[in-house]
Amino acid sequence: MVTAIFAAHITLLARSEMVELASIRFSVNLFSKIAMLATIAISIQSPVHAGALEIQWRPETVRLIERDGDYARMARLSDGAIACAYDYDGKMCLRRSTDEGLTWGQRIQVAEEPDCWLTNAYLLPLANRDLLYFWNERPRAALRFQRRPAPRGLLTRPFLIRMARSSDCGVTWSSPTTLYEAGPTYQDGCWEPAAIQLTDGEVQVYFSNERPYPDTDEQEISLLRSKDGGRTWSKAERVAMRARHRDGMPAPLALAGGHGILVAIEDNGLSSGSFKPAIVSTTADDNWSSGPVGGDSNKRWGALAMPLEPDWYGGAPFLAQLPSGETLLSYQESSDGSLRTCQMAVCVGDASGRRFGRKTYPLPSPAPPGQLWNSLFVKNADTVTAILGGTVNGVRGVWAIDGDVHAASSDKK
């Protein structure tokens, strides 16, 4: 039953120490929104069947991982702890949790670079128990100009894809190494690395790449490979590119049982120029050897069973897979096409990464500047965690909320 006042436990983490759970009281109006969107888990789904499971989000599990943090990713470590990587104040950071995300340890700084903004964190636990941390290094001089022309010769420092390694489950870290060097401007930079390890041990890093297109607004998805656990890397290869458009923000998933590789991307060529979530794929045997996936390839498809309206924005996707085989897709969605009003949406798809539906929203409608750069973490067979950059109770930062995975109601298609 909905009560007049709802007490939800939210973990507020201080910037240098563990913080105890704080009980924060929500107003009737706020709780009503949460109840509608999370406790009751009202779904917005396709008229066709899009998976036998659905997610019910639990407001009492909301946790603040890092105030003023952004762009966070989680992973299960070899010692059983959960790690959350994110950027904070232009630096790459990490916190560990040893109690399944109820509380989070002190902030560990992984990397910083003078005159650069480090962002786009991504964690990859390896089969040998090492932990790799990837990020994007962006020169602050280029950020000042962004898409505006800079005086000739002023911008010389390149955008980079970088990596550090930990052999003690994220407590200490190696010095950064550079995997890829792009150009020095927003017109020829690189962005958003994300990684997987295949069953044969190959490590793959996907990223958005404008370096090959300095004179156009085009962008491709590029791939780096390592056969030795990230010690050495191949040259970049193109795996997806829709001509005259901007494939971006790759989120790879190696399907369980060696059933292929999926990469969720934001694709502004599906409808009307607004980004929409799409999937590009390859088989395990092919492993992209047949060449890049173009805009008309049968290896590319719109991710959603019920597509968004043409003028809606649906970007920054993320993929995960449940132990039962169903796939999960998150993305940031806005009906007015802006980032400022984005809300994190989560959908359930089949084991092949198609027909994503049964859409739910982990948190209520966001306060500006929106719920951005979100991700998912499969905590166990029955629980998935949504991680987002957002504002809760007036506090901006990296937040997490757990959802229960259960069989869909029989009356839902």
- Residue 410, pLDDT score: 59
Q: What share of the chain is helix, strand, coil (3-state, %, to 5)?
A: 5, 45, 45
Task: List pLDDT tens digits, range 351-396.
Answer: 999 999 999 999 998 888 999 999 999 999 999 999 999 999 999 9
Cβ(300)–Cβ(279) below 8 Å: yes
Q: What is the DSSP string of 65-110?
A: EEET-EEEEEEE-TTS-EEEEEEETTEEEEEEESSTTSS----EEE
In this prediction, residues 308-330 reach a mean pLDDT of: 97
Q: What is the DSSP string of 138-170?
A: EEHHHHHHTTSPPPTTS--SPPEEEEEEESSTT
- Residue 26, pLDDT score: 33
In angstroms, the CA 272 to CA 282 distance is 26
Specify the higher pLDDT residue, 413 or 369. Answer: 369
pTM, 2 dp: 0.88
Residue 31, CB half-sphere, CA atoms under 13 Å: how many? 14
Give the Cβ contact number of residue 406 at 10 Å. 12
What percentage of the chain carries pLDDT values higher than 90?
A: 82
Cis amide prior to 369 (ω within 30 degrees) = yes
In angstroms, the CA 226 to CA 247 distance is 23
In this prediction, residues 190-206 reach a mean pLDDT of: 98
Q: What is the DSSP letter of 406?
A: E
Closest by CA to 328, choosing from 383, 282, 368, is 383
Structure tokens, 70:
């952004």
**Residue 285 vs residues 253, 258, 264, 365: alpha-carbon distances, Å:** 15, 9, 19, 43
What percentage of the chain carries pLDDT values higher than 70?
A: 87
Cβ(230)–Cβ(159) below 8 Å: no
pLDDT range class, residue 186, cuts 50, 70, 90: very high
pLDDT range class, residue 257, cuts 50, 70, 90: very high
Task: List pLDDT tens digits, range 108-132.
Answer: 999 999 999 999 999 999 999 999 9
pLDDT range class, residue 147, cuts 50, 70, 90: confident
Specify the higher pLDDT residue, 386 or 49. Answer: 386
- Residue 149, pLDDT score: 87
In angstroms, the CA 65 to CA 108 distance is 13
- Say if domain 48-407 classifies as CATH 2.120.10.10: yes
- Residue 271, pLDDT score: 85
Please say if the pLDDT value at position 301 is more than 90.
yes
